[in-house]
A and B are shown apart, each in its own frame.
Chain A
Amino acid sequence: MKPAPFSYYRAKSMDDAIETVAKFDGYAKYLAGGQTLGPMMNLRLAQPELVVDISNLPDLHAASLEADHLVLGAGIRHSMIEDNLVPDVSGGLMSRAAAGIAYRAIRNRGTIGGSLAHADPSAEWPTVLYALDAKIVTKSGAGHREITINDFFVGALTTLLRDDEVIQNIKIAKFPKGLRWGFEKSSRKAGEFAHSLAIAIVDPAGHRSGVTLGAISETPVRLAATSNLLAENKHSAPSKTSVFSAVREDIVSSGIELDDYEMQIHSRAVNKAIEQLFR
């Protein structure tokens, strides 16, 4: 047995899970897909005393399409999004991103809410949902909270979630008609965490256009100069040189220090994502 000893409790409902964690005097963790918590416990990097299993709660597996947005339960697994078994409002961006998360056996268990709660800066969902301006609905003993994704991530592996608070679902606004996206993940080995994650979006109406870069800092970064460059080039891709210098300008002005190699990896990823928009 690799993990440190702990007690396991399978929650009967969301309220039961929250109550159990809230009243536990010690270190308790929610278990959703367990694809991060499992390894972390095996490596003894995480040593919770109580593990509350929320993976079987129907509340967390519901998906519903509303008039102008999609509500995805936090317990929805990556492979369900990959296989389009839940509704999509992102024109296929989420399915594409899901297909690149780790490996199929991991995607069959790992959940979108778990990934957000873990907040690994190199993971797919934090950056993708940042680019999609998602809202995160949480539940705790104090009731519900709706948090915009810009506020949700405090830093690497750190979110606004309180100890007993659970992500219940994620709200994603419908893409307007005619919106296009480009997505580029840079990694040396298939299935590993990203070295760079670039998402470029062009909205004909202009509201949702922009370039987002992940796996670069503690939280995803919106690239202002690169987004402006994209807005100025509506009909054909801006030159590679202009993209590279805009990305450099954005990264430097965000106060992120990169060496030449890292700068090259990120610039290339952004350029590839932009190129996809004009295919």
Chain B
Amino acid sequence: MSKTSITLNGTVVTAEVEDRLSLADFIRDQQGLTGTHLACEHGVCGACTIELDGAPARSCITLAIAADGKRVNTIEGFDDDALMGILREAFSEAHGLQCGFCTPGMLITIRDMIQRGVCVSEQKIRLALAGNICRCTGYAGIVKAVKLAVTRVAERGNHVEA
């Protein structure tokens, strides 16, 4: 057991954890934040994607103890985020989800894609989404939602605060 202290969605949480505990299990089981989903648990499917020190990362292959001293944002931490608000609306309108299992990871990945300016064509969007697996939508609705969100961000004069 070791002590880990993580800034989780803006609040410092300190806990004794087993060394082998993944960040995903820590977030879900110990902190009760079940928006972070687990599927493949070896970094391929993207369901567990969170933000680690401001950049998307897989929480299933990150150790809770290795995140000691770092900032972690889960989907619950984006409730008041303007860009995430636009994305949520776009997902709802463009049928960006069906069962919703992949959605938290999708949203965190896509928010980063929009911020980095990679959504310049459908091909680039699809390429950047390759690390997040959806088994319901066939991606058509998700790609449409990304395009819609990008248009709305542009309409609002690129003044969407992170």
Interfacial residues, chain A to chain B (CB-CB below 8 A): 1-8, 10, 31, 34-35, 38-39, 41-43, 51, 53, 55, 79, 102-106, 108-109, 189-191
Compute how far the CA of A104 lies from the CA of B125 in the bound complex, rounded to whole angstroms.
12
Q: Given contacts A39-B43, A42-B61, A190-B127, is CB(A7)–CB(B19) below 8 Å?
A: yes
Please determine whether B130 and A42 come into contact, CB atoms closer than 8 angstroms: no
CB-defined A-B contacts under 8 Å, sample of 15: A2-B22, A3-B20, A5-B20, A34-B62, A34-B63, A38-B60, A55-B66, A102-B43, A103-B46, A104-B113, A105-B46, A105-B55, A106-B58, A108-B55, A190-B127
Which residues of chain A have C-beta atoms less than 8 A from B41's C-beta?
2, 42
- Of B20, B22, B126, most A-chain CB atoms within 10 Å: B20
For the complex, count residues of B whose C-beta is within 8 A of A.
Answer: 34
Please determine whether A42 and B60 come into contact, CB atoms closer than 8 angstroms: yes
B109 contacts partner chain A, Cβ-Cβ < 8 Å:
yes
Distance in angstroms from B24 CB to nearest chain A CB is: 10
Closest 6 CB pairs of A and B: A103-B131, A38-B61, A39-B42, A190-B130, A8-B19, A105-B56
Please determine whether B66 and A31 come into contact, CB atoms closer than 8 angstroms: yes
Known: A42-B41, A105-B57. 6 other contacts (CB 8 A): A4-B20, A6-B19, A8-B65, A10-B65, A34-B61, A103-B130
Q: Given contacts A103-B131, A105-B58, A191-B130, is CB(A34)–CB(B19) below 8 Å?
A: no
Distance in angstroms from A183 CB to nearest chain B CB is: 16
